[in-house]
Amino acid sequence: MGNITQVVNLVEDRLKVLIENYNFLKEENEFLLGKVAVLETQIAKEKQLNEELEEKYKTLKIAKTIEGSKEDRRETKLKINALIREIDVCIAQLSE
């Protein structure tokens, strides 16, 4: 009878340890999921900032090309023609 009591106590002790480990891991998982959400938000903000900076860079590059030297005239003309084509496409779509 004493042997059975020892086995039951051992099982109870191991069960308590398992429950404690489960609770700890559950809390850690919730914490990590929260951290993932925060980091995903940061990544989205950084991507948006990156896109904005790339757009500003393109605009600055066009502005520098327009004010640039004789070597840049061909590139400037090509960019202006591309912009005119884009505007024409937009006008055509609006006309439809």
Strand, coil or helix: 41: helix
Q: Convert the pLDDT of each residue in 79-92 to its tens digit.
A: 888 889 999 998 98
Q: Convert the pLDDT of each residue in 57-71 to its tens digit.
A: 988 877 776 676 666
| Mean pLDDT for all residues in the chain | 88
- Percent of the chain scored above 90 by pLDDT? 55
What ranges do the domains of the chain cover?
2-95
Q: Give the separation between CA 71 and CA 61, rounded to whole angstroms.
A: 14
The residues, ordered by sequence, that sit 6+ positions from 85 with a Cβ below 8 Å of its Cβ are none
Task: Look at residue 26 and tell me whether its pLDDT is greater than 70.
Answer: yes
Strand, coil or helix: 96: coil
Q: DSSP character for 72?
A: G
pLDDT at 77 (0 to 100)? 79
Cβ(65)–Cβ(72) below 8 Å: yes
Q: Give the separation between CA 48 and CA 20, rounded to whole angstroms.
A: 42
